[in-house]
Amino acid sequence: MTFTDANRNGTERSENGKASAAIPFNLGGMNKHGERIPERDQMVNPKDNLSLIDRIRWVYFQFSLATCTYMLDPWERHLADFVFLSVFAMITYACCTYLPHYAMHLLTIFARIFVSPKSVS
């Protein structure tokens, strides 16, 4: 039976037309080459033994993959990173500067709405 014979919901049609459960590709914890697949608690995370510099490089690599900047020229990548960091720094500065004032203002508004005047001395 070929892959095209199976339905999208994971069932197969036999010769008599009745649906039967599809056979999973990964029987008995073996991959397609017959090698044993380790259990989840036995798997080794390759990031566990990285130094700090290698971990930072790995995070930057993941950032490059997520933002698709890995396909840019080096000068374009540096420019895109500079723009991203500038926007991130401006948002962080704005949050640290203006957010506490707005949060206190909202707390006073909610205190007037939800706290009864009798309980406020």
Q: What is the token pair recorded at 118?
A: 């009798």
Q: Model confidence over 25-36: pLDDT tens digits?
A: 545 666 777 777
Quote the pLDDT of residue 32: 72
Average pLDDT over residues 88-100: 94
Confidence of residue 50 (pLDDT cuts 50, 70, 90): confident
Indicate the range of 25-34, 58-67, 89-98, 106-115 predicted with least confidence.
25-34
The secondary structure of 36-72 as a DSSP string is: BPPPGGGPPPTTTT--HHHHHHHHHHHHHHHHTGGGS
pTM, two decimal places: 0.48
| Closest-CA residue to 5 (of 26, 15, 27) | 15
What is the distance between the alpha carbons of residues 23 and 27, in angstroms, rounded to a whole number? 8
Quote the pLDDT of residue 64: 92
Instruction: Name the phi and psi angles at 55, rounded to 5.
Output: -65, -40
